[in-house]
């Protein structure tokens, strides 16, 4: 059998835009790849398939090129394009080694309209709103606009006699659904390993109400890209190339399977070709290590050392790497001096504790001295703790943004909250998982019920409430706004709910001035970590998923306590989802296994960590598994046993999220008692 042609497709082109070296590793089974898509899960992650299907209903009467086989798809497209006028979905177009499938291609005589459908929301009406004030492309829009630029380029080469215009079709944040139940019209299902969308029978264009997608003409920006006036760094070893030559270069290197060496940089931090220890043990190759060996001369033992890319929230990483500084230990503290009074990317406030710059220096100092011990600002933490009121409440929300609205009056990608977990600590130290909520009912907007349940659990006392990161505060603000817009007849307790939000949350920028935060405004445990605590084993990340294993690894108190089966429904620490559970179990090296790894993955198809790349907002990465699980329950066909299994998994995960906060609190309290 002839080998499959090595076409530079639009997704490979976008991969090369991130890092051209990745073209060499992609698609090779011998390399670990954490971005290997499960098309079904990615279809669920951000609603892309549903938006795609809705788009087709807005451009009706077209022909879908269904086959995935390149040659067959090209042939069918060629044939249909013989017609004077035609609309094609998933048209296949090739020019030499360049290949694309266009979401919507409309032929009308000598013109071709290319419509790229993206499940991304846009709160504007013109392409200029995708640009910075200096005329360069906003970072968020680069890959979308380059995607169109690539497609228009290939179409121009393939159809030189046609006039080609290009558009992005986006979820319109200014639009509101004018009908109820829109999102339940699109069900996702799997067929022969492919993700498909079934539109509910009898759905007509009228039933969709006013459009919630907006068509943005992007030719002007695409032209800027062609003329290299868009300000994007294309990161090539051969220097800057005009767009067309750059595409030729990429396609040639890819066709010949030649590695394109590019500079190491911050981009490497999230490189999907980095192996876990287990993957390496199983014989998979690490593209990440290959690059760092080849470019920086690192040897195997060096990868145990913290690298410059681990430097916390720093915009100096690229310049340090350019100077040949690869390890944290080699950074001269002078190089971390703030550029401005407030520390460049540092804190712009007078709050106590570490500034961002001091934290980075601490990280470097610990790496330089090889000191694995955690840093505590005991006085700072004590001062914070003195203001806390018992019982302490630890809460965590699971939320999502649904592409197509549930109800009339809602915008695409409106934030919704569907799950929370709640642990409580009494003044005498008793800990319990006391509450949870999960709204899994199909087709119902969950946020107001969610809020009622949360309020009921937290309003009985004045205890301090803890969240981890801004997410919970952001979502209470979102629900506040949704309530403000709701019909008071449909939500009779609207004022009461809004009033309660103002007691436990502070207004976000969008709600600035809407209320004065009260004394019970939630305490952000992440902020406490950033100001008063640093553990070298976190690798510079403050995500609770990194902080928890680090803390467990260095606390014999927690290890002894949670190695016993004290956690369960009627045990010492009552739980709502576990019967009898030991959170501490050890691996072969005698290290406590990350408690998240003790839980079975939510999906059989993928490890939870690998789902993170399916959501574009990095702030939501930790909740990706829950988002996808919720979408699966809403928008895919499943039997009751599967639904129950997903619900159970979600409840356990969310419970661990708040238990992790409790464990961190216990660790701090213990250390402070000893100090």
- Torsion sign over Cα 308, 312, 317, 320: negative
Q: Does 23 bind ligand SF4 (CB under 6 A)?
A: no
Residue 176 CB partners (closer than 8 Å, separation 6+): 210, 212, 405, 408, 409, 410, 411
Q: Hey, which residues between 25 and 64 contact ligand SF4 (CB under 6 A)? A: none
Stretch that binds ligand SF4, among 16-24, 64-72, 546-554, 615-623 (CB under 6 A): 16-24
Rounded to the nearest whole angstrom, what is the least distance from the CB of residue 667 to ligand SF4 in the complex? 34
Q: Which of 195, 262, 538, 555 binds ligand SF4 (CB under 6 A)?
A: 262
Question: Residue 589: how many CA atoms within 13 Å on its side-chain side?
Answer: 6
As a whole number of angstroms, the distance between CA 54 and CA 48 comes to 10
Retrieve residue 11's tokens: 């997704």
The distance of closest approach from Cβ of residue 267 to ligand SF4 in the complex, given in angstroms and rounded to an integer, is: 5
Pairing of strands 375-376, 392-402: unpaired
Residue in 506, 523, 500 with CA at minimum distance from that of residue 661: 523
In contact, 533 and 551? CB cutoff 8 Å: no
**Is the CB of 323 or the CB of 508 nearer to ligand SF4?**
323
The closest of 298, 271, 156 to 222, measured between CA atoms, is 156
Phi-psi sector, 342: left (phi>0), alpha (psi -120 to 50), beta? alpha
Nearer to ligand SF4, 22 or 561 (CB): 22
Sole binder of ligand SF4 in the list 264, 451, 476, 633 (CB under 6 A): 264
Nearest distance, CB of residue 301 and ligand SF4, angstroms: 18
Place of tokens 């296994």: 593
Shortest Å, Cβ 15 to ligand SF4 = 10
Determine the Cα–Cα distance for residues 299 and 308; give it in Å rounded to an integer.
16
Candidate list 9, 13, 17, 22; residue touching ligand SF4; CB under 6 A: 22
Q: Which is nearer to ligand SF4, 22 or 366 (CB)?
A: 22
Residue 254 CB, shortest distance to ligand SF4, in Å, is 14
Residues 290-349 contacting ligand SF4, CB under 6 A: 291
Look at residues 388, 381, 317 and name the one whose alpha carbon lies nearest to residue 352.
Answer: 381
Pick left, alpha or beta for residue 38 (phi over 0 → left; psi -120 to 50 → alpha; otherwise beta): beta
C-beta closer to ligand SF4: residue 287 or 536: 287
DSSP letters spanning 301-320: GGGGSPBGGGSTT-S-HHHH
Q: Give whichever of 19 and 154 is closer to ligand SF4, judged by the CB atom.
A: 19
Least gap, CB of 275 to ligand SF4 (angstroms): 11
Rounded Cα distance between 340 and 337, Å, is: 9
The minimum distance between CB 117 and ligand SF4, in angstroms, equals 28
Q: With beta carbons less than 8 A apart as the criterion, state whether 249 and 203 touch.
A: no
Q: Does 561 bind ligand SF4 (CB under 6 A)?
A: no
Give CA–CA dist 222/203, Å, rounded: 35
Candidate segments 265-273, 370-378, 576-584, 604-612, binder of ligand SF4 by CB under 6 A: 265-273
Rank residues 18 and 180 by Cβ distance to ligand SF4 and give the closer one. 18
Return the number of the residue (103 or 272) whose C-beta is nearest ligand SF4: 272
What's the closest the beta carbon of residue 318 comes to ligand SF4, in angstroms?
12
Say how far apart CA 405 and CA 231 lie, in whole Å: 35
Q: 25 or 667: whose CB is closer to ligand SF4?
A: 25
Q: Contact with ligand SF4 (CB under 6 A): which of 19, 149, 425, 558?
A: 19
Stretch near ligand SF4 under the rule CB under 6 A, chosen from 19-27, 194-202, 346-354, 647-655:
19-27
Stretch that binds ligand SF4, among 59-67, 261-269, 563-571, 628-636 (CB under 6 A): 261-269
Nearer to ligand SF4, 286 or 363 (CB): 286
Q: Does residue 273 touch ligand SF4 according to CB under 6 A?
A: yes
Determine the size of the site formed for ligand SF4 (CB under 6 A). Answer: 12
Q: Which two structure tokens, joined as six digits, stand for 368?
A: 């330089």
Work out whether strand 186-191 and strand 98-108 pair parallel, antiparallel, or are unpaired. unpaired
**Contact range with ligand SF4 by CB under 6 A, out of 168-176, 260-268, 357-365, 400-408:** 260-268
Is the CB of 21 or the CB of 121 nearer to ligand SF4? 21
Q: Which is nearer to ligand SF4, 289 or 422 (CB)?
A: 289
Q: Does 448 bind ligand SF4 (CB under 6 A)?
A: no
Pairing of strands 85-95, 63-64: parallel
271: contact with ligand SF4 by CB under 6 A: yes
Least Å from the CB of residue 315 to ligand SF4: 17
List of E strands, 307-370: none
**Least distance to ligand SF4, CB of residue 286, Å:** 9
Peptide bond preceding 286 in cis form (omega within 30 of 0): no
DSSP assignments along 117-149, one per residue = EEEEEE--SSGGGGB-TTSSBPGGGHHHHHHHH
Q: In the complex, what is the shortest distance from the CB of residue 31 to ligand SF4, in angstroms, rounded to a whole number?
A: 10
CB-based contacts of 102, cutoff 8 Å, min separation 6: 88, 90, 91, 93, 114, 115, 116, 151, 155
Torsion of CA 54, 628, 645, 594, to 10 degrees: 170
Task: Confirm or reject binding of residue 268 to ligand SF4 (CB under 6 A).
Answer: yes
**Min separation Cβ 292 and ligand SF4, Å:** 7
Task: Identify which of residues 247 and 275 has a Cβ nearer to ligand SF4 in the complex.
Answer: 275
Q: What is the 3-state secondary structure (H, E, C) of 435-451?
A: EEEECCCCCCCCHHHHH
Nearer residue to ligand SF4 within complex by CB, 219 or 263: 263
Q: Is 83 helix (H, G, I), strand (E, B) or coil?
A: coil
* 3-state DSSP percent of the chain in helix, strand and coil, to 5: 45, 15, 40
Residues 87-106 that bind ligand SF4 (CB under 6 A): none
Binding map of ligand SF4 across residues 455-494, x = CB under 6 A, - = no contact: ----------------------------------------
d(CA 644, CA 111): 52
* Cβ proximity to ligand SF4, 19 vs 629, nearer residue: 19
Q: Which is nearer to ligand SF4, 20 or 402 (CB)?
A: 20
Segment interacting with ligand SF4, rule: CB under 6 A, options 268-276, 369-377, 552-560, 577-585: 268-276
Residue 294 CB, nearest approach to ligand SF4 (Å):
9
Decide whether 246 or 288 has the Cβ nearer to ligand SF4: 288
Residues 281-300 contacting ligand SF4, CB under 6 A: 287-288, 291
C-beta of residue 200 within 8 angstroms of C-beta of residue 185: yes
Q: Judged by CB under 6 A, does residue 267 bind ligand SF4?
A: yes
Q: Considering beta carbons, is residue 22 or 545 the nearer one to ligand SF4?
A: 22
What is the binding site for ligand SF4 (CB under 6 A)? 19, 21-22, 262, 264, 267-268, 271, 273, 287-288, 291
């Amino acid at each position: 059998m002839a080998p499959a042609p090595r076409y530079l497709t639009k997704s490979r082109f976008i991969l090369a835009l991130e890092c051209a070296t990745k073209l060499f590793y992609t698609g090779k089974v011998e390399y670990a790849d954490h971005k290997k898509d499960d098309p079904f899960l990615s279809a669920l992650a951000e609603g892309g398939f549903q938006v795609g299907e809705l788009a087709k209903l807005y451009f009706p009467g077209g022909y879908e090129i269904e086959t995935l086989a390149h040659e067959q798809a090209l042939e069918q497209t060629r044939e249909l394009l013989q017609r004077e006028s035609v609309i094609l979905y998933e048209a296949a177009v090739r020019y030499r080694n360049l290949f694309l499938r266009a979401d919507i291609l409309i032929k009308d005589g000598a013109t071709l309209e290319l419509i790229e459908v993206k499940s991304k929301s846009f709160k504007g009406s013109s392409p200029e709103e995708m640009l910075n004030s200096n005329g360069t492309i906003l970072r968020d829009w680069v890959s979308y606009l380059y995607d169109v630029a690539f497609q228009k380029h290939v179409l121009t080469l393939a159809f030189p006699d046609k006039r080609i215009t290009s558009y992005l079709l986006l979820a319109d944040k200014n639009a509101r659904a004018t009908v109820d139940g829109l999102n339940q019209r699109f069900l996702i299902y799997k067929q022969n390993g492919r993700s498909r969308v079934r539109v509910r029978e009898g759905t007509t264009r009228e039933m969709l109400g006013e459009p919630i997608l907006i068509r943005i003409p992007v030719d002007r920006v695409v032209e800027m890209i062609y003329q290299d006036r868009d300000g994007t760094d294309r990161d090539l070893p051969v220097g800057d190339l005009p767009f067309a030559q750059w595409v030729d270069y990429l396609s040639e290197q890819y066709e010949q399977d030649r590695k394109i060496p590019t500079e190491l940089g911050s981009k490497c931090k999230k490189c999907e070709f980095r192996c876990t220890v287990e993957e390496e043990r199983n014989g998979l190759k690490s593209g990440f290590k290959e690059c760092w060996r080849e470019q920086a001369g690192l040897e195997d033992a060096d990868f145990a050392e913290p690298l410059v890319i681990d430097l916390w929230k720093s915009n100096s990483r690229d310049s340090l790497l350019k100077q040949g500084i690869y390890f944290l230990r080699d950074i001269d503290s002078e190089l971390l001096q703030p550029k401005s009074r407030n520390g460049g990317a540092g804190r712009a406030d007078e709050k106590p504790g570490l500034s961002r710059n001091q934290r980075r220096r601490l990280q470097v100092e610990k790496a330089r001295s090889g000191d694995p011990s955690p840093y505590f600002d005991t006085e700072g933490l004590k001062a914070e703790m003195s203001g806390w009121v018992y019982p302490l409440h630890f809460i965590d929300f699971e939320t999502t943004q649904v592409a197509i609205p549930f109800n009339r009056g809602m915008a695409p990608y409106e934030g919704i909250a569907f799950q929370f977990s709640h642990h409580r600590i009494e003044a005498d130290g008793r800990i319990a998982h006391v509450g949870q909520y999960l709204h899994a009912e199909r087709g119902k907007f969950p946020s107001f019920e969610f809020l009622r349940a949360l309020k009921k659990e937290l309003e009985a006392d004045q205890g301090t409430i803890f969240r981890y990161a801004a997410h919970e505060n952001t979502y209470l603000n979102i629900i506040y706004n949704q309530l403000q817009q709701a019909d008071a007849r449909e939500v009779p307790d609207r004022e009461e709910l809004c009033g309660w939000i103002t007691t436990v949350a502070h207004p976000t920028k969008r709600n600035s001035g809407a209320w004065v935060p009260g004394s019970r405004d939630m305490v952000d445990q992440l902020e406490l970590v950033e100001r008063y605590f640093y553990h070298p084993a976190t690798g510079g990340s403050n995500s609770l998923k990194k902080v928890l294993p680090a803390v467990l690894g260095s606390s014999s108190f927690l290890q002894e306590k949670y190695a016993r089966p004290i956690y369960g429904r009627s045990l010492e620490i009552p739980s709502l989802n576990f019967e009898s559970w030991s959170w501490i179990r050890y691996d072969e090296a005698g290290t406590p296994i990350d408690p998240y790894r003790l839980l079975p993955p939510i999906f059989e198809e993928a490890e939870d960590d690998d789902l993170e790349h399916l959501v574009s907002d990095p702030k939501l990465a930790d909740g990706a598994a829950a988002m996808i699980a919720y979408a699966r329950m809403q928008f895919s066909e499943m039997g009751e046993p599967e639904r129950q299994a997903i619900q159970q998994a979600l409840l356990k995960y969310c419970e661990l999220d708040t238990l992790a906060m409790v464990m961190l609190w216990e660790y701090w309290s213990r250390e402070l008692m000893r100090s």
